[in-house]
Amino acid sequence: MKKTSYILGIESSCDDTAAAVLRNDEVLSNCIANQKIHQSYGGVVPELASRAHQANIVPVVQQALSIANIDKKELSAIAYTRGPGLLGSLLVGSAFAKSLALSLNIPLIEVNHMQAHLLCHFIKSEDRPVPTFPFLGVTLSGGHTQLVLVESHFEMKEIGKTRDDAIGEAFDKCGKLMGLNYPAGPEIDRLAKLGNPDAFAFPIPKVEGFDVSYSGLKTAFINLVHKNSHKNPNFIDDNLNDLCASIQKTLVAVIMQKIIQAKEKYHLNRIVIGGGVAANSEIRKKLSRKAKENQWEVFLPPFQYTTDNAAMIGIVGYQKLINQQFGMMNQSVSARLSL
């Protein structure tokens, strides 16, 4: 019989302080303290994020333990995000994880945030199968846009990435221009539902291989808005839904094109999506259509595991625990940790 382990996952790489408790591969609690303070700045302010993590980490961990109904003495291991992310934010989570692991005398496990976005699909669920290897992993977040060949839980090779802005960043920057709060991705998604995606046309950038570029598209969007706002000062308000639908359609088309190309080149029929932008309804629709019409095997994460969360850190912790891959107390965090 499988040994029962309790893993505490801690995530603090950007602006969400999150803690989760897993019993093996099953999530018992998944708690997040969102930092509203960044909304009025139009983006994450690193210094404010670190301070908010410091204020939130103890209550969030306590809440995760309490919802899971276990005492910290029952924990088998602590998994934390080592990177990539904001240095000050990562330091708060890692210092807390190290101190708690030391005081409880249990293993410390370091987790790569981008691996975790893909491995969240291995969280146990009654109604979803887990992916089998190999697969094409696609991480779509506020900081990253990556195409990854995944051979096993920990054998991942990046084959493409953004050369400038991440897809989530492009959503957020276009949203900021339209006066939407940070993070603007979910709001653009909501407003786009009532808009015409063909109202405004934007060029799809041509980039070699499996890399993508989003900064030119963002500039094209800014130019269109500025040009039209000169003629009509209410241009944004008058066209908000159409602007959202049109830019969303193009942002998604850019990555869909690369997914199709990579899938063909590497003869992979299994596509696994992760990251905050995996919540986007347009990308979900496009991929679900491919699954239905072209028999792709598509894995879309449940919404609670799309944006940053600690359950995904916990599941990687569990995989590493059973493989005895432990972290070291003197290992420092890494803002630019690669896969």
Report yes or no: 38 and 48 within 8 Å, Cβ to Cβ. yes
Say which residue the tokens 């963002």 belong to.
218
Least Cβ distance, residue 12 to Zn ion (angstroms): 11
> Which CB, 137 or 143, lies closer to ligand KG4?
143
Interface residue with Zn ion among 308, 310, 312, 339 (CB under 5 A) is: 308
The gap from C-alpha 290 to its chain's centroid, in whole angstroms, comes to 22
Residues 314 and 109: their CA atoms lie apart, in Å, by: 9
Least Cβ distance, residue 235 to Zn ion (angstroms): 33
**Binding string, residues 242-281; x marks residues near ligand KG4 by CB under 6 A:** ---------------------------------xxx-xx-
R_g over Cα of the chain: 20
For residue 290, how many other CB atoms are within 10 A of its CB?
A: 18
**Residue 277 touches which of Zn ion, ligand KG4, none (Cβ within 5-8 Å per kind):** ligand KG4
Q: First-to-last CA distance in the chain?
A: 33
> Which CB, 27 or 268, lies closer to Zn ion?
27
**Binding string, residues 132-171; x marks residues near Zn ion by CB under 5 A:** ---------x------------------------------
Nearest CA-CA partner of 10 in 85, 82, 106: 82
**Residue 183 touches which of ligand KG4, Zn ion, none (Cβ within 5-8 Å per kind):** ligand KG4
Question: Of 195-203, 210-218, 248-256, 305-313, which part binds Zn ion (CB under 5 A)?
Answer: 305-313
Residues 113 and 275: their CA atoms lie apart, in Å, by: 10
**Residue 205 touches which of Zn ion, ligand KG4, none (Cβ within 5-8 Å per kind):** none
Report yes or no: 88 and 50 within 8 Å, Cβ to Cβ. yes
> How many Cα atoms occupy the beta-carbon half-sphere of 24 within 13 Å?
6
> Which CB, 107 or 195, lies closer to ligand KG4?
195
307 counts as binding ligand KG4 under rule CB under 6 A? yes
Q: Count residues contacting ligand KG4 (CB under 6 A)?
A: 19
Least Cβ distance, residue 168 to ligand KG4 (angstroms): 3
* Angle at alpha carbon of residue 257, lines to 256 and 258, rounded to 5°: 90
Interface residue with ligand KG4 among 80, 96, 135, 171 (CB under 6 A) is: 171
Nearest CA-CA partner of 5 in 327, 328, 329, 323: 323
The residues in 132-151 that bind ligand KG4, with binding defined as CB under 6 A, are 141-143
Residues 6+ apart with CB under 8 A from 176: 42, 43, 182, 184
Residues forming contacts to ligand KG4 in the complex (CB under 6 A) are: 14, 141-143, 168, 171-172, 183-186, 189, 275-277, 279-280, 307-308
Residues forming contacts to Zn ion in the complex (CB under 5 A) are: 141, 308
